[in-house]
Amino acid sequence: FDMFFLAFVERLFRPTFRKDDFVLGKKLGEGAFGVVYRVSLAKKSSSNKEGDLVLKKATEYGAVEIWMNERVRRACASSCADFVYGFLETSSKKGGEYWLVWRFEGESTLADLMQSKEFPYNVETMLLGEVQDLPKGIEREDRIIQTIMRQILFCLDSLHSTGIVHRDIKPQNIIFSEGSRTFKIIDLGAAADLRVGINYIPKEFLLDPRYAAPEQYIMSTQTPSAPSAPVATALSPVLWQMNLPDRFDIYSTGLIFLQMAFPSLRTDSGLIQFNRQLKRCDYDLVAWRRTLEPRASPDLRRGFELLDLDGGIGWELLTSMVRYKPRRRTSAKAALAHPYFDREGLLVLSFMQ
């Protein structure tokens, strides 16, 4: 009762919006299940800057996405983009669309930043708020990548602790929040909340094959279909233990780590080729390295060199994330306690987190 009451009161005091409140700006993205715009509020609303909100007009999965965002906002707000409001907009289309509104966090996703030749130094500048006048080198790059990894894992750990598996972790869904100067996770459109059984049956067609772990189903196929909420609440900690659905996100995060270390894997074709090679090696990263290293390009060699710093602590972390069996992959919490993160990161960050 308390929780429902609090949620109700909280809802009462939050702003509510309607279709006419929004002035559409630039289109930020368009997927199979929705379109995303930068928007601003129409005149009557008081304090707002130009285009400081983001609006997603979503199809049938919008309802789940609203639910996930509401839950995240209450349980682990700092991990994801700041959610403002979600509602069913019925005036235009037959059956209606779900409209979701977030605060505009910033101009760049990790994907945008990784496409730059300056990566990871461009991220360093954003994290610190100023250009560092230091010699470039592999140690400095490692430190920046370490800081990015820590932030992603920090967000994932709090999502997973809340019972939510994201299922679409990729650089395109990691936004740099200019306000808090940290990376945050976006796009809960494919997420599953295992504690209450929302979006419990995995919609595997929603998954991005470039970043998806080899297991087809998040939960084993023997797991019964979505139980009713009270039952699921009682059962799911056990199911979670048995199936380790969170490890799906860990695999995807491992691929992001890999892309940050190896510039040639940052392109779509590079990543797709890597996935093919890894599959041929039965998802054994050590075997992949063994087949590649003798004839490795300077680019690949440099990636291995970065991961081999400090006794190969980065390589060790990477191989504990990218493994075939979910059970053998580390969790977000355990990854954060990995010696890879014992070394000093960027200064501002140790202050913020």
Give me the residues that bind ligand ADP (CB under 6 A), please.
28-29, 31, 34, 36, 54, 56, 81, 102, 104-106, 109, 172-173, 175, 186-187, 189
Closest CB to Mg ion among residues 82, 187: 187
Q: Is 187 in the site for Mg ion (CB under 5 A)?
A: yes
- Residue with Cβ nearer ligand ADP (84 or 201): 84
Query: What does the alpha-carbon distance between residue 145 and residue 347 come to, in Å, rounded to a whole number?
Result: 13
Say whether residue 69 binds Mg ion (CB under 5 A).
no
Q: Are 51 and 40 in contact (CB under 8 A)?
A: yes
Contacting range for Mg ion; rule: CB under 5 A; set: 5-13, 111-119, 168-176, 266-274: 168-176
- 300's enclosing H/E stretch is helix 298-307
CB 102 within 8 A of CB 81: yes
Q: How far is the CB of 83 from ligand ADP (least distance, A)?
A: 8
Distance, in Å, from the CA atom of 56 to the CA atom of 309, rounded to the nearest integer, reads 42
DSSP-derived letter for residue 46 is S
Task: Decide if residue 173 touches Mg ion (CB under 5 A).
Answer: yes
Q: Which CB sits closer to ligand ADP, 36 or 153?
A: 36
Question: 321 Cβ partners below 8 Å, 6+ apart?
Answer: 250, 251, 253, 254, 257, 329, 330, 335
Closer Cβ to ligand ADP, 79 or 172, answer by number: 172
Element (H, E) at 254: helix 247-261
Closest contact distance (angstroms) between CB of 222 and ligand ADP is 30
Residue 213 Cβ vs ligand ADP, minimum distance, rounded to whole Å:
19
Kindly name the residue from 82, 168, 187, 193 that is annotated as catalytic. Answer: 168
Rounded CA separation 197/4 (Å): 17
Find the shortest distance in angstroms from Cβ 187 to Mg ion: 4
The CA-based dihedral angle spanning residues 48, 51, 54, 56, taken in that order and rounded to the nearest 10 degrees: 120
Instruction: Return the number of the residue (96 or 106) whose C-beta is nearest ligand ADP.
Output: 106
Query: Is 213:249 a contact under the CB 8 Å cutoff?
Result: no
Of Mg ion, ligand ADP, none, which one sits near residue 202, judging by CB under 5 to 8 A according to partner kind? none
CB of 191 to ligand ADP, least distance (A): 11
Does the footprint of Mg ion cover residue 147 (CB under 5 A)? no
How many chain residues bind Mg ion (CB under 5 A)?
A: 2
Active site residue 168: yes
Cα separation, 77 vs 130, whole angstroms: 27
Catalytic positions, written as ranges: 168
Per CB under 5 A, residues contacting Mg ion are 173, 187
